[in-house]
Amino acid sequence: MSPKTMAHIQSNLALQQFQRLFAALAAASPWTKGLLTAALGALAIRAWHAARPSKPLSLENSDQPGLFKKHSSFASFPVPAGFTYPRIRVFYHAHPQEAKLPSTLPLLVFMHGLGGNATQFASLLTSLVNVAPCLAIDLPGCGLSDFAPKDERAYTTAAFAELLATAIDRYRNKDENQQVVLVGHSMGCSISALLASSHSPLHRRLNTNYIAGFIAICPKASPPSDKEAMNIDRLHWMPAPVFDLLRWYDRRGGLNSTSVARVVGHEADDETKKLQQKYNRQSKSAVFLRFVTAGLPAKGSQAADSDVIPWPGKEVWSGIKVPLFLLAGGADKLTPPEQVDEIARWLSEKPRQTADGVAMPEEPGVTTNPNTVPTTAGDIQLSQDHITNPSPRHDSGPQTLPKDMIKDDKKSTKHGFVLKTAKISAPAAHGFMYTTPYVRVVSGLIEEFLAKHVDERLSMGWQLQHLTTSGKWDVKNLKKWQSIAPCSDPIGGVFRAMKTMREVDPSHNPTDFVKRFSHTAIPDGVAMVLDISHESPVYNPKKLEEGGVEYHKFPTVSKLPPTGDEVEHFITTVDNLRRSLPQTSFGTSPLSSTSSNPPLPSSEEDANRPTIGVHCHY
């Protein structure tokens, strides 16, 4: 029988089978019809997934920020637990002035959360790479990292902590005993806490005495409740294609969908919503399901509860003996700001004593039942929302930022270390660290904490002083720089082209620039400086800020053409800056609107408004 004849017979048999199936479906009860239809839909989606050609994840064919494209690589990491993660994306950015600064400058290590990836720190890294060397990884299956190995035990919180420790060990300067500051977001805080805490189950087998500080953004204090654990246990039996259907339903409405609003809030600007929508698309259902169920052995499985290290709770958090900075968003529904209060309370509680003055062991206020797992994913928190109690859409109007946007506090822990907390008022939500209005605020808070409470050398002011006194800090081509005019006339009523300032220059330094060219000196003067260079500036931006001129960074990489998304992001950035141009001493007021995306000023308005100064590395 020829192959063609065989194929024809197989096709007819398949057609007959489908005809019988649909005939049975037509005669079935409504309940049976529903079940069969759902099963057919799931099978169709699974078949479509299997048939789709999958592109290999690489820096070339991925939509990555320029900073990550230039400073990312891939590496294999064997960990103490016996697993090997074959292809993990690593972002490592040395300090731009590495050769001219002390080699013991601490390393900042960033850990993303469930449903996220390392690029969520891109906005913060834009400024932080200029104060310290920075390291970040994509967890397996996230971002550009391969979803491997297959062993479910490689996807627990403890396994990820070992992976992070192994990456740190490879990039940290061990010869100089370089210290490390951990920066985590959401689940990344819990992973980091397992490294930072002296009460961690991993403390004995991992040497993490090099940790000098911990910054936890939107941390989760305690394990999920028994009810949450029961709901998540159902996910063991949910196929990824079915979960994809739930996510598709959750994304209805595009930028105004529940999946986007859950993380950044309904009041977020469109640029932030687009960013969150992108992160949601990048997050894979199969990866999420593996992350969630890995820490929760299915009932009747061979995995023993004792094999799973608990999700960090009171015992772990109260054992952190380094300077700690806790940040929360007032409108965060995934990890409410009360979580920060709980961690702070645990760290402030003094040990109880007996009548003889002997310290009594702490009573765990929160269970550390290993049958609990994180639930703070981005758009995929719907694992519970859709299984148990779907919540109604939030349709309230936009909120305005209060004057006291930040409520912060500083005290000492029971271990004698600094404990700083900061709550950014609503509408700051779970994704506030990359939400446009808050990026500069969060970056400034982190830099201040690092310089004041971890290491004074992490202050840009200290570094600039060190470089200027040692004669190692200046523009690359001084003669070329001197031949360029300091600042142009207004361009289109929006921009002023300018050359970068020099801290050591007698006339074109930040202080003199404010006196000559700022909006406080002339009506259409510069109110904001947009630095599009990739490198750190050779002046102290803080002096601009002190003079009433905002400093913004939009790094572009030389010899690397910007992507379409980066061009769009630049245009959006400029539009947002134009909308928020400040009132000047000459009576021009900023635009006022209750919308999160107010209209741009007209050309007539631009003619009398402050401008945006733009410079590169010259």
Shared domain check, 185 and 268: yes
Q: Phi and psi dihedrals of 598, rounded to 5? A: -65, 160
Q: What pTM was computed for the model?
A: 0.76
State the total domains in the chain.
3
- Which stretches of 385-477 are assigned E, i.e. beta strand? 406-412, 418-424
At 17 the three-state DSSP class reads: helix
pLDDT of residue 54 exceeding 60: no
For 344-358, the pLDDT digits (tens) are 999 998 765 555 555
250, 115 in Cβ contact below 8 A? Answer: no
For residue 89, list its beta bridge partners: 74
What is the CATH number for 561? 3.90.190.10
In a domain, 468, yes or no: no
Shared domain check, 447 and 482: no
pLDDT of residue 284 exceeding 80: yes
For 491-530, the pLDDT digits (tens) are 998 999 999 998 888 999 999 999 999 999 999 999 999 9
Assign residue 471 a region (left: φ > 0; alpha: ψ between -120 and 50; beta: otherwise): left
The one-character DSSP state at 306 is G
pLDDT of residue 167 exceeding 80: yes
pLDDT of residue 361 exceeding 60: no
Shared domain check, 336 and 261: yes
Shared domain check, 414 and 303: yes
Residue with tokens 């805080």: 189
Shared domain check, 147 and 46: no
Q: Which of 360-369, 387-396, 426-435, 459-468 has the highest mean pLDDT?
A: 426-435
Supply the pLDDT for residue 42: 54
Of 83 and 57, which is predicted with more confidence?
83
pLDDT of residue 393 exceeding 50: no
In the chain, the percentage of residues whose pLDDT exceeds 90 is 47
Which band of pLDDT confidence, cut at 50, 70 and 90, is reported for residue 601? low
Greatest pairwise CA separation for the chain in angstroms: 94
Which residues form the domain of 30? 17-53
CA angle 373-195-127, nearest 5°? 100
pLDDT of residue 309 exceeding 90: no
**Least confident range of 275-289, 319-333, 565-579:** 565-579
In a domain, 116, yes or no: yes
108, 134 in Cβ contact below 8 A? Answer: yes
How far is residue 543's CA from residue 558's CA, in Å, rounded to a whole number? 27
Supply the pLDDT for residue 395: 33
What is the CATH number for 346? 3.40.50.1820
In this structure, what token pair is assigned to residue 30? 């409504």
- DSSP H or E stretch at residue 546: helix 541-546
pLDDT of residue 191 exceeding 80: yes
- DSSP H or E stretch at residue 480: helix 478-482
Shared domain check, 306 and 203: yes
In a domain, 122, yes or no: yes
pLDDT of residue 43 exceeding 70: no
Which band of pLDDT confidence, cut at 50, 70 and 90, is reported for residue 29? low
In a domain, 492, yes or no: yes
Mean pLDDT of the region 565-569: 81
Shared domain check, 183 and 306: yes
Shared domain check, 569 and 429: no
Average pLDDT across the chain, whole number:
80
Shared domain check, 482 and 426: no
In a domain, 362, yes or no: no
163, 79 in Cβ contact below 8 A? Answer: yes
Of 403 and 561, which is predicted with more confidence?
561
246, 394 in Cβ contact below 8 A? Answer: no
Shared domain check, 104 and 49: no
Supply the pLDDT for residue 391: 36
In this structure, what token pair is assigned to residue 375? 């639930």
The one-character DSSP state at 454 is I
DSSP 336-366: -THHHHHHHHHHHPPPPB-TTSPBPPPPPSS
Shared domain check, 147 and 35: no
- Which stretches of 186-231 are assigned E, i.e. beta strand? 211-217
Shared domain check, 486 and 453: no
Mean pLDDT of the region 129-142: 96
In a domain, 207, yes or no: yes
Supply the pLDDT for residue 218: 98
Of 488 and 371, which is predicted with more confidence?
488
Of 373, 371, 353, residue with least CA distance to 362: 353
In this structure, what token pair is assigned to residue 357? 């003055």
495, 573 in Cβ contact below 8 A? Answer: no
How far is residue 142's CA from residue 88's CA, in Å, rounded to a whole number? 9
For 224-272, the pLDDT digits (tens) are 777 777 877 778 788 888 888 888 988 999 999 999 999 999 999 888 9
Mean pLDDT of the region 524-541: 88
How far is residue 292's CA from residue 280's CA, in Å, rounded to a whole number? 17
